[in-house]
Amino acid sequence: MSHITLKIDVTNSQQVIAQEKGKLVGFASRLLSDEKRKQKVEEEVYALIKEELKQLLPGKLAENGITADVTIGIEE
């Protein structure tokens, strides 16, 4: 079976954390090492992409007459 692999390497985790300023997540993230910050931001990006795909992909497939069971997960 074919599948799609998506890898994201966030290069601006410091700026992303700074945008979260004032939120508990942003505050707590400033206490982490650079690598942990990057990992946290990447996890959030993957979660956002997963949710978008879960909402959009079934409808787009149906528009093209495709019936399919779609499983979307995050692997480490």
Per-residue pLDDT tens over the stretch 9-61: 888 887 877 776 656 455 556 667 778 878 888 888 899 999 999 999 999 99
Return the percent helix, strand and coil in the chain, to nearest 5. Answer: 55, 0, 45
Helix (H, G, I), strand (E, B) or coil at 54: helix
pTM: 0.71
